[in-house]
Amino acid sequence: MAICTMNIEGMTCQHCVKAVTSVLSKVAGVERATVSLEKKQATLEVDEATFDLEAARKAVIDEGYVPR
């Protein structure tokens, strides 16, 4: 298991946090997604064998936020 950190712009409230957590949790290889509004970042525990960072970035973009 590895840790991946993704900065995310555009989150303004706890609803945003829940939305980003939800979409990241559905990405293949993500075991756990923890999203912080204060840090504007997501920390992902991932299975390196199946996780695709670009799929995670696309999920965030499709939800209306900007991954950095």
Q: How confident is the model at residue 11 (pLDDT cuts 50, 70, 90)?
A: very high
Per residue in 44-61, pLDDT (tens digit) is 999 999 999 999 999 999
The domain that holds 13 is classified in CATH as: 3.30.70.100
- Strands across the sheet with 66-67, in order? 30-36, 41-46, 2-9, 66-67
29: phi then psi, degrees, rounded to nearest 5 = 90, -10
pLDDT of residue 49: 97
Per the structure, the count of domains in the chain is 1
The total number of residues shown for the chain amounts to 68
Could you tell me the residue range of the domain that residue 15 belongs to? 2-67
State pTM to two decimals. 0.95
pLDDT of residue 56: 98
